[in-house]
Structure 1
């Protein structure tokens, strides 16, 4: 390894960081022949020596014909431990076996990505190398982006290589690279030309050369190792050196015998790798002549033996030979190669290049279906569009394809939508005859694009055109979505009930679940929680085949149980939903993520904070998109409540995403909570006012935000704006979207009461019964908010003269805060206890420890010196010394270490 020590060291650092639990991605760019593959090969060897599973896959110069080719190659060549893990993930297994298997059950790409993430986490540490990203298909580029964003704490390192000289201005990889290089997890490594000294050293390792020849090679190689190798080989064979690398490569090919040149030309058309049998049949040479030709090519270093076949020594050599072919020769060879292949995507490529339109039509349709199965919607759309472009040029197209043009057009539109292009899907669907299926999909995508009136029209057309009960059921189920957010929402109930009846009679489970979900939402909004729960239970009795809808049903059932205080049931349902999401590879889908957040929230609410903190660790702080920022915001609940140091860095990452209403609500709301706990009400109020400015007045989030804003106003000694805040709370508590009456869940009712009580506190009224109502409202199981409400209740009780009740309430709150290790709340409680001169806390052996002594004891246990403790608590060092002496005496300890050990044993540090 000459001249690349710095670049290799950079890659090794990324690899070692991954091994330590900080996943990373490295993107290695450079001109063709500059040494990218050599560098990643060295890294792979280092990784294997250090216990990594190494997966290596290579993209091919076939455009979007072969989706996920490098991933499939990497998994096929993986070691046994990876193959064993692969057996438990059918979506990945289907990819490896070439896409054979049952039809897609929906969300295949998300399932594939989620399954891969699960596999990498199971067999970690892993180095995954993707070579030649400049040739990557759309789905592989999507996979690279997914891994770059989602691997955070896994012991996974992803390395991609690409040619910088191939990235023209409109190359699709350019925007991907620009996006990824902004991420903190991504390291860029650019390989420039080697200095002349390094090139000279490298050429010297190839063999003996005279000084003049060595100088000529170094001068002409221009720092490119591959070019230097070719120059050396040409000189070693006594050739003159033509200008340019392509001419040099072809000069070496032209030295081959006629059979050798025939074989290498066939191989250039066949692609990146060709089996011995296929190459022999395509070359149409006698066996002896063929073997002699291949031996000649291998001996000259133009081919490498690769298992049961051959690969070109370098892609540049293949490109040079292919470019040198005559047009007619190229066409005939493509046609010949197509006869030897079975892969639909490769067949389509070669048929098109060979001008066989009949073969290209049939192969493209088959390639599209296969791309659908393996979760590559962009490639499926491309193949189906190819079918449509060839349709009128081929007689009997429908018989060849096995489907009508309308059906292929529908497949193409659905694939476009699945790859994120709803506008393209709508345009294609509008150009098709409006069958029920076409109109139903059109209505669905128009809702996604907020084209409400057009969506209603399409949904009605789908129902009117339905020819079977199943088509009618699906059309009606989709119509409930189109009507729900419109002025005709009052019609949703009748349409959903009709959809349910038709779906059940037709056995259309997906439409049945869709109708049940719509009816459950209506029942919930009407305040009939039991009816909503019953409908959701029916919706989760079976799997419908629509995986997204199945997860949505399970999430809504768990959410309803949570919001109405059925916390144990909610926990069980959430675990079931998460297990399903992980089993089908949709852990990172929308509802898979929502279910994991709900599990986190249940741990948080019920006081299982160690479990909550563990779940939150998966919500990475290093974010690059709005969905990632939303997920990361969840972790702030536990981090702020425990006063963890991660709060500031997480907020720094989230700040650029505050233009998103949801991210702002979540993270700025928690930033305000953090500021309030730190005694910075002005900062808290600034955050809260920013959130309220973007929040619709009917949003139930107003309840929590307004309650916090009222608290901040009171801490600032201000009353201006308090009446507006409580009025906003009252409005949001009873008013839903479109003016419909809202029914609040338990937490919503508790926050509404909290806002009322904070409003009274702001005006100087200490309403003990109202604060008792707040405590009771949160005491359905929300341990932390109950403790915080008890602090306010204790303040009110003390202010109204009921000292004994105040101390009892304070003690309850303090115990909860200590059990949760809610340090900021515990600090506030201890400050209040000191001001109120409440009795000292008792240690288990009867020795009295004051609240201040407990604070000092915790810092002693953390290893701080007296000076450091004094700085932390803003007290004199001499005072700390007195506290430490008292602590040692009360705990009957002779050293600080012994006191800390005793405190841990007796639970005094909680």
Structure 2
């Protein structure tokens, strides 16, 4: 079939494929009403891609609700791997290298113990690796059809791929029915979110116009008879331009005049579709009804067995159905030519007929070997529809366990929920489930938590606390342990601690056990920031010993992390990094990825805080490799580790690597986690004066009110950007906003206070230049408040305890704040700026926090020049210029150039030299006179000019007199007018 009326849409798709071929991955989401031609359009792309030598994987969702996770991915992989071509060999080879994907296939490994707790992220990483590996050989086109039926895990996978695919030679195309996306449809927010991403394109397939309908009908007729204008008009009007409706009308002969069209064609589409069914034989209709109940692709054997036809009759019936294009061949089986056909046929079944066919299909599924991929979920679906509740119950439990093994916790939770709904209606439910109701409910809660549904998990566990027998140990304690942990995650700290304490008390008697070790770890975590009775660290020490005695390596790792964090914040224990190293070993040995990635972050972060930048870089790089290898890119600690890796390279001055890492950080963010990692890229963007800083901030701004840390990070850097753009009031607004939040009392307030003091120093200088003493006093008062805050934060914790440990960077920012406070008073204090410079080196004269050393040297050079030590000022200035040039820190370079010109630190022209180039009214002025005239035009008096240019007030007065004479004007006001007219800058 030729492509009619879709030139623009097809061009969008082929352009996306071409970009992918060039190494710019992207996604195209094709939407439109049912029957409008989305599949036809995408099939044309598939043919073109195959003709161009691309690897093509096509998968389709099915109307099975949330029952079978990753169904279209499994469909695509299975079809590609069994296509009988060189492409199939390549897909099989890549699959063999990724066992986690092999579990999705019907012949995959169904070993219950083969999946890790964080299997979903691992599976996502495996999919990304598979696509990337295939793409190295040739471009890849991945098509996921009918996403409006996608299960939750598939929606998560789609979101993951759309965000992560960047340089891979992969083009992802998804289709969905826009008319199905009602307000509460789960795909609706996903599409709204994805279509904001820069690498995602939306293509809307619209109904045909009259001309396109005419061309389409002419193509359908194959030239057998001319299509009259009247027929086109009727078909177009009644189909409303929907190609599928039009084809059905035309094929059913409904294009002819009819005195009562409404009688021939009821409003519902089902009657249109079923008119084609009526032309089939009884055997053909029976086959189609069986296929409709199957719900997705069906093979020859199920068709034969469920239809009751012998092999020859079933073959003839299938041939007839395929020739009428009701079913079409697909890989090893058959699918409906259009999903609407299946829906219409299914809806036309009589209730008893539908129940019987579901029961027949359930019996067929029940006979499959145990562990067959997806069989349990489908068996649960069909048994429930057949009202066979015992079978539906047992199959739901099995389907939940299978989904959990595949890293699909959302689907596992849904299956367990359905089983629990049927518990009272099923005789012998406990024997069928292989567990009791309380334990199954606990399992459901844990899967809900793994799926991110923490509040649903908490709700279920709160109910279980009342239902479970307290004497049933360790079950009762385990319920409370998990409840306490989830309560901690949602900041219900008081209830969390009380619940954790109760779990520990319930397991107080007897020898050390894994269950008690876990409860101790949860309680210790609750004490980390709420230790009213000062139980730590003695409690944690004893808990570590118990965990070790019980062989609970995962709990021991969690306890060591908690203990390390406690000691670090309260005791300044130098052995903290050793605790983190030991915790990392234990977490790896236990296969506990949650603790493993958590401790890797703190291990790298502890080195960073202590100034061991080389060690921090190694630890962060290793941690990020672990994150990426295990598909944890968007796990909470995965995000934090990637951010820390960037921050280390930014700190040591390796901005080329920092910018390379930032290429992976999304700019057009839609979630706070994305915004957080995007905000880190602002460190270099702002320091280099990159235009991308403005774009990042525009996308982050709508989200920063939703997340305190994001607000602190983004607004703090927005304040620095405002200062470089000569907007100190804008900077103050950002600083005051953050300081009004809990971050106003956290350690991060040190940097923020220093930034605010910089802004107030600029405002005070402007106020002094204009003689606004009230504004000068206001700036001083605000500066006093900021300095008090910085000193307080450096000295004590938010709970009032003395701070035992303040990282090297914290001490340096405090010194910066002290120096900036003196600048507010118009004093450039050499000693304070030298102290700040030295502290930012972290004890390494050639290293440390490279950019902040250069920024501090800028102010140190200014202070030295102000105090008359021009040689020392020139040395500091040259060092700062060299470093800023290497970094590409353009705003700092511009400030240094200005300082060099004002203080004559660059070894350039003498005081009487003429500026080359300009002529006209200003052509007679020397370089220094032009500098003085610019300050006169800015409204500064002789004393302020002298301060700015590091000269005496008398010398400034002489320069002003010379300027007035050379310009032949009588006043400073007239001189300023000349400067403005000539565009002096």
Equivalent residue for 2:120, pick from 105, 109, 123: 109
Show the counterpart of 2:977: none
Structure 1 residues 705 and 53 mapped into 2: Cα distance closer, same or farther (>3 Å)? farther
Query: Which secondary structure does the structure 1 equivalent of 2:142 belong to?
Result: strand
Query: Which secondary structure does the structure 1 equivalent of 2:225 belong to?
Result: coil
- The answer to whether residue 748 in structure 2 is matched with residue 701 in structure 1 is yes
Contact 1:551 1:592 in 2 (8 A): yes
Contact 1:476 1:498 in 2 (8 A): no
Show the counterpart of 1:205: 219
Query: Which secondary structure does the structure 2 equivalent of 1:514 belong to?
Result: helix
Show the counterpart of 1:793: 860
Show the counterpart of 2:672: 626
- The offset of 1:167, in angstroms, is 3.4
Query: Which secondary structure does the structure 1 equivalent of 2:620 belong to?
Result: helix
Structure 1 residues 411 and 732 mapped into 2: Cα distance closer, same or farther (>3 Å)? same
Show the counterpart of 1:776: 838
Query: Which secondary structure does the structure 2 equivalent of 1:492 belong to?
Result: coil
Show the counterpart of 1:730: 791
- The offset of 1:494, in angstroms, is 2.9
Contact 1:474 1:499 in 2 (8 A): no
Contact 1:332 1:354 in 2 (8 A): yes
Quote the Cα distance in structure 1 between the aligned partners of 2:712 and 2:602: 21
Query: Which secondary structure does the structure 1 equivalent of 2:272 belong to?
Result: helix
Show the counterpart of 1:721: 782
Show the counterpart of 1:137: 151
Quote the Cα distance in structure 2 between the aligned partners of 1:501 and 1:528: 22
Query: Which secondary structure does the structure 1 equivalent of 2:575 belong to?
Result: helix
- The offset of 1:748, in angstroms, is 0.8
Deviations 1:258-316 (A, max 9, x none): 22222221121112211112222222222222222222222222221223222122212
Quote the Cα distance in structure 2 between the aligned partners of 1:715 and 1:809: 22
Deviations 1:658-709 (A, max 9, x none): 3133223222222222232333333322322222233534211111111111
Query: Which secondary structure does the structure 2 equivalent of 1:139 belong to?
Result: helix
Equivalent residue for 2:110, pick from 100, 116, 119: 100
Deviations 1:761-813 (A, max 9, x none): 32233332222221111112111111111111122222222222222222222
Structure 1 residues 587 and 167 mapped into 2: Cα distance closer, same or farther (>3 Å)? closer
Structure 1 residues 695 and 485 mapped into 2: Cα distance closer, same or farther (>3 Å)? closer
Structure 1 residues 849 and 760 mapped into 2: Cα distance closer, same or farther (>3 Å)? closer
Equivalent residue for 1:594, pick from 633, 640, 647: 640
- The offset of 1:495, in angstroms, is 2.8
Equivalent residue for 1:759, pick from 793, 809, 821: 821
Show the counterpart of 2:532: 488
Q: 1:870-885 maps to which residues of 2 (within 5 A)?
A: none
Show the counterpart of 1:564: 610
Query: Which secondary structure does the structure 1 equivalent of 2:252 belong to?
Result: helix
Quote the Cα distance in structure 1 between the aligned partners of 2:248 and 2:761: 79
Show the counterpart of 2:734: 687
Show the counterpart of 2:11: 9
Equivalent residue for 2:248, pick from 210, 226, 230: 230
Structure 1 residues 849 and 824 mapped into 2: Cα distance closer, same or farther (>3 Å)? farther
Contact 2:30 2:205 in 1 (8 A): yes
Aligned length: 853
Contact 1:525 1:741 in 2 (8 A): no
Quote the Cα distance in structure 2 between the aligned partners of 1:83 and 1:562: 44
Quote the Cα distance in structure 1 between the aligned partners of 2:42 and 2:647: 43
Quote the Cα distance in structure 1 between the aligned partners of 2:840 and 2:404: 49
- The offset of 1:51, in angstroms, is 6.0
Structure 1 window deviating more from structure 2 (136-145 vs 213-222): it is 213-222
Structure 1 window deviating more from structure 2 (793-802 vs 50-59): it is 50-59
- The offset of 1:99, in angstroms, is 6.7
Show the counterpart of 1:248: 272
Show the counterpart of 1:381: 413
- The offset of 1:418, in angstroms, is 2.1
Structure 1 window deviating more from structure 2 (304-313 vs 353-362): it is 304-313
Equivalent residue for 1:166, pick from 161, 180, 201: 180
Quote the Cα distance in structure 2 between the aligned partners of 1:19 and 1:287: 46
Contact 1:99 1:370 in 2 (8 A): no
Structure 1 window deviating more from structure 2 (622-631 vs 145-154): it is 145-154
- The answer to whether residue 677 in structure 2 is matched with residue 653 in structure 1 is no
- Structure 1 outlier segments of 4+, above 6 Å: 236-241
Structure 1 residues 156 and 622 mapped into 2: Cα distance closer, same or farther (>3 Å)? farther
Structure 1 residues 30 and 765 mapped into 2: Cα distance closer, same or farther (>3 Å)? closer
Q: 1:40-439 maps to which residues of 2 (within 5 A)?
A: 40-48=42-50, 52-78=54-80, 79=87, 80-81=89-90, 83-96=92-105, 100-101=110-111, 102-124=113-135, 125-151=139-165, 156-207=170-221, 208-210=224-226, 211=228, 216-235=234-253, 242-244=264-266, 245-341=269-365, 342=368, 343-432=375-464, 433=468, 435-439=476-480
- Between Structure 1 and Structure 2, whose CA radius of gyration is higher? 2
Contact 1:134 1:163 in 2 (8 A): yes
Structure 1 residues 669 and 578 mapped into 2: Cα distance closer, same or farther (>3 Å)? same
Structure 1 residues 459 and 605 mapped into 2: Cα distance closer, same or farther (>3 Å)? same
Contact 1:149 1:623 in 2 (8 A): no
Show the counterpart of 1:585: 631
Quote the Cα distance in structure 1 between the aligned partners of 2:334 and 2:425: 37
Contact 1:443 1:455 in 2 (8 A): yes
Quote the Cα distance in structure 1 between the aligned partners of 2:492 and 2:533: 15
Show the counterpart of 2:956: none
- The offset of 1:48, in angstroms, is 4.5
Equivalent residue for 2:801, pick from 740, 745, 754: 740
Quote the Cα distance in structure 1 between the aligned partners of 2:142 and 2:931: 51
Q: 1:6-45 maps to which residues of 2 (within 5 A)?
A: 6-16=8-18, 23-45=25-47
Contact 1:426 1:442 in 2 (8 A): yes
Show the counterpart of 1:878: none
Quote the Cα distance in structure 1 between the aligned partners of 2:245 and 2:900: 79
Structure 1 residues 5 and 589 mapped into 2: Cα distance closer, same or farther (>3 Å)? same
Quote the Cα distance in structure 2 between the aligned partners of 1:138 and 1:462: 33
Contact 2:442 2:479 in 1 (8 A): yes
Query: Which secondary structure does the structure 1 equivalent of 2:740 belong to?
Result: helix
Show the counterpart of 1:824: 891
- The offset of 1:822, in angstroms, is 1.8
Query: Which secondary structure does the structure 2 equivalent of 1:130 belong to?
Result: strand
Quote the Cα distance in structure 1 between the aligned partners of 2:484 and 2:564: 22
Query: Which secondary structure does the structure 1 equivalent of 2:491 belong to?
Result: coil
Quote the Cα distance in structure 2 between the aligned partners of 1:782 and 1:215: 74
Q: 1:860-879 maps to which residues of 2 (within 5 A)?
A: none
Show the counterpart of 2:562: 518
Show the counterpart of 2:84: none
Quote the Cα distance in structure 1 between the aligned partners of 2:55 and 2:715: 41
- The offset of 1:586, in angstroms, is 0.8
Query: Which secondary structure does the structure 2 equivalent of 1:170 belong to?
Result: coil
Contact 2:854 2:883 in 1 (8 A): yes
Structure 1 window deviating more from structure 2 (574-583 vs 520-529): it is 520-529
When the two structures are superposed, what TM-score results if normalisation uses the length of structure 1? 0.88
Q: RMSD over aligned Cα, in angstroms?
A: 3.0
Deviations 1:75-104 (A, max 9, x none): 333445555444444433333455724354
Structure 1 window deviating more from structure 2 (540-549 vs 9-18): it is 9-18
Contact 1:587 1:593 in 2 (8 A): yes
- The offset of 1:127, in angstroms, is 3.6
When the two structures are superposed, what TM-score results if normalisation uses the length of structure 2? 0.82
Contact 1:509 1:545 in 2 (8 A): no
- The offset of 1:160, in angstroms, is 2.4
Structure 1 residues 174 and 807 mapped into 2: Cα distance closer, same or farther (>3 Å)? closer
Structure 1 residues 84 and 729 mapped into 2: Cα distance closer, same or farther (>3 Å)? farther
Structure 1 residues 237 and 813 mapped into 2: Cα distance closer, same or farther (>3 Å)? closer
Structure 1 window deviating more from structure 2 (433-442 vs 510-519): it is 433-442
